[in-house]
């Protein structure tokens, strides 16, 4: 069911749009509008007619039930389930895929009719069709689970125009327009809260049912549900650029990234199926030259049994479904996995390298104390620092703004420059102002008499007019589930390393609190890249977790890049392979566990399919297995594999 697992789009794809897929089912896309009864109706009709035919054949034995009447009866029983499969086989042949599983089932059942085994011909196609229906239902459920969790965007919003509410299509709303959100309504666009306070249900974005309270000026995202009073929001992003839209797009594209196991099975099926067909021909005709009592009908029957057994549908159905289930399990827990190949990579991660600020800490800084040298006007300097920091979106800038208060817009800043990994520089009142870490002061040869290395706080150094003014101490809070995260990673046998641009003393302190063995601070973006390369050089599979713009290069370099999707920058979210939507680090070991469980289920299905088929293939070739055993080996194993694959969607991690 290849395209069912690889297409999440609202557009209904045609058969030709999936060129190269092994398992195209146009009819499977109709299931969204069909009831379960409608899906099973053709199979029910065939089953009733087959059951009556067997009763006539083996119990009642009426004289009229013979010859052409008996043939027509079983043909009518065959048509509801057989015609769709024969049609698929014909379409596959037209597209150049001769040896599809539909072709195998077609020649096996038509062959059974040709030697008078009518009930078995109908039974094989009936059970195969029932297996296909269960497969369709499983994939449709997985798809609808993800859409129900994520596709929360309302089509219309209420825009305030000239003081009056007006309902408008969400995609037509412009940036900076004001929208009104009533209690219980879903937000259709990303924006900034204009009301003093509002509570939101953020489960669509984060998987977290706990309400989130936002205050005036804070960011609110499409998909959030307003829980209390009527609120007003200023739109900050177009409909197609909202974070939820991007998440949906990523989910829609997720299963187009195939895992190596999936790619192998697709290639394997292309080689395996023609070999099976030629072996079946060999089983039919070669015994003529070897055995003395050769009976064509007997050897053809064995070959048909062999064909039914060897159908690879258990593999081509259950493996993509297993990976799709893994992606669905992640989405249900607020973890966006951008492709099934990343599930395999997650399962093999040996070292998780993480940023500190915003990843293992809240990223919510507060100014603790102000230490200035004598002779400086504290209030005047703080106003200048606040004006300069208003040019930055860094959490430290927010902390300074909260501490100092409103920005004094009468202060004119010139030549504002951000120096990566160090801080900000500007000219104010004709003099140079530097605000950042002590590396920034060193670069501009500012002299200071302070041993700052051992202070276990983030320090913001300030220099004005080539003189050292002093520093602010700023503290961040470790996330409540950060320690549990490290414990769970250790339990999974995964090493942990912390890399940060913050001062080494702070980084070491946080690492000790969490139980992280290796921690490095005072790193510029290029230093993080070099450290990650050193770890990868030890032949370790590495995941990097970060949230800032400067983390994007390291996220891209790692085997698996994980971004914090709430506070995280758009650049990092775009670059990352995994996005944790609620910023909880405990989702890191959960994602790795989902990868491990998915891989386990996929290999269970591969082992089951090959083991059962190998046994029954040998029995079939030797004439010891009938069509009924063949049906179990094919459809029975496929259904067991489907049930096993669906299991991951119900697991708790």
What positions carry a catalytic annotation? 355
Q: Say if residues 543 and 562 touch (Cβ distance below 8 Å).
A: yes
Q: Identify the bridge partners of residue 374 per DSSP, sorted by sequence position.
A: none
Residue with tokens 């990092």: 572
Q: Cα 277 vs. chain centroid, distance in angstroms?
A: 37
Whole-number Å distance between alpha carbons of 430 and 418: 18
Query: Order of strands, edge to edge, in the sheet holding 366-372?
Result: 366-372, 467-475, 458-464, 431-436, 423-428, 413-419
Whole-number Å distance between alpha carbons of 419 and 37: 65
300's torsion region: left (phi>0), alpha (psi -120 to 50) or beta? Answer: alpha
CA-based nearest residue to 79, from 109, 52, 114 = 109
Residue 490 CB coordination number (10 Å) = 15
User: Interior CA angle at 275 toward 271 and 276, to 5°?
Assistant: 115
Q: What secondary structure does DSSP assign to 518-570, as a single string?
A: EEE-S--HHHHHHHHHHHHTTT--EEEEE-SGGGHHHHHHSSEEEEETTTS-H
Whole-number Å distance between alpha carbons of 384 and 377: 11
Retrieve residue 63's tokens: 């004289």
CA-based nearest residue to 333, from 150, 500, 67, 180 = 150
């Amino acid at each position: 069911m290849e395209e069912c697992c690889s297409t999440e789009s609202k557009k209904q794809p045609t058969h030709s749009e999936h060129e190269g897929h092994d398992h195209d089912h146009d009819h499977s896309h109709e299931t969204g509008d069909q009831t379960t009864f409608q899906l099973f109706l053709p199979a029910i009709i065939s089953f009733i007619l087959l059951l009556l035919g067997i009763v006539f054949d083996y119990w009642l034995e009426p004289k009229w039930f013979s010859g052409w009447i008996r043939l027509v009866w079983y043909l009518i029983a065959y048509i509801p389930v057989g015609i769709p499969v024969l049609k698929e086989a014909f379409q596959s042949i037209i597209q150049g895929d001769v040896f599809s599983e539909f072709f195998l089932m077609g020649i096996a059942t038509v062959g059974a009719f040709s030697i008078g085994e009518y009930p078995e011909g109908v039974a094989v196609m009936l059970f195969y069709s029932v297996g296909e229906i269960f497969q369709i239902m499983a994939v449709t459920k997985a798809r609808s689970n993800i859409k129900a969790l994520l596709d929360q965007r309302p089509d219309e919003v209420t825009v305030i125009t000239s003081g009056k509410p007006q309902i408008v299509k969400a995609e037509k709303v412009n940036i900076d327009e004001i929208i009104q959100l009533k209690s219980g309504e879903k937000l259709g666009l990303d924006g900034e809260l204009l009301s003093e306070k509002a509570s939101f249900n953020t489960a669509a974005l984060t998987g977290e049912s706990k309400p989130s309270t936002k205050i005036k000026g804070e960011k609110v995202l499409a998909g959030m549900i307003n829980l209390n009073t009527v609120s007003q929001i200023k739109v900050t992003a177009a409909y197609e650029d909202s974070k939820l839209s991007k998440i949906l797009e990523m989910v829609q594209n997720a299963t187009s990234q195939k895992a190596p196991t999936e790619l192998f099975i697709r290639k394997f099926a292309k080689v395996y199926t023609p070999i099976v067909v030629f072996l079946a021909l060999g089983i039919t005709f070669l015994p003529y030259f070897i055995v003395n009592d050769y009976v064509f009908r007997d050897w053809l029957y064995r070959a048909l049994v062999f064909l039914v057994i060897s159908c690879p549908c258990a593999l081509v159905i259950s493996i993509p479904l297993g990976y799709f289930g893994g992606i669905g399990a992640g989405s249900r827990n607020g973890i966006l996995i951008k492709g099934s190949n990343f599930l395999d990579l997650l399962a093999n991660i040996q070292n998780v390298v993480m940023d500190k600020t915003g990843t293992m800490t809240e990223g919510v800084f507060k100014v603790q104390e102000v230490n200035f040298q004598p002779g400086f006007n504290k209030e005047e300097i703080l106003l200048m620092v606040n004006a300069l920091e208003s040019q930055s979106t860094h959490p430290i800038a927010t902390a300074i703004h909260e501490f100092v208060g409103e920005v004094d817009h009468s202060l004119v800043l010139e030549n504002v420059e951000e120096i990566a990994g160090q801080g900000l520089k500007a000219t104010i009142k004709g003099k140079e102002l530097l605000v950042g870490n002590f590396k920034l002061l060193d670069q501009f040869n500012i002299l200071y008499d302070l041993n700052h290395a051992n202070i276990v706080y983030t320090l913001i150094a300030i220099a004005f007019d080539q003189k050292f003014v002093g520093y602010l101490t700023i503290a961040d809070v470790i996330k409540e589930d950060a320690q549990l995260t490290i414990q769970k990673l250790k339990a999974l046998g995964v090493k942990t390393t912390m890399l940060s641009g913050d001062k080494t003393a702070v980084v070491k302190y946080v690492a000790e609190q969490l139980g992280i063995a290796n921690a490095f601070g005072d790193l510029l973006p290029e230093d993080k890249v070099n450290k990650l390369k050193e770890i990868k050089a030890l032949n370790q599979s590495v995941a990097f977790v970060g949230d800032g713009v400067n983390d994007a290069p390291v996220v891209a370099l790692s085997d698996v890049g994980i971004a914090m999707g709430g506070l995280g920058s758009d650049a990092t979210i775009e670059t990352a392979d995994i996005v944790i939507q609620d910023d909880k680090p405990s989702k890191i070991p959960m994602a790795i566990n989902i990868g491990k469980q998915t891989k386990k289920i996929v290999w269970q299905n591969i082992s089951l399919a090959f083991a059962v088929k190998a046994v029954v293939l040998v029995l079939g070739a030797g004439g010891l297995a009938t069509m009924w055993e063949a049906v179990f080996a094919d459809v029975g194993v496929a259904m067991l594999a489907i049930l096993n694959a669906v299991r991951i969607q119900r697991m708790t991690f």
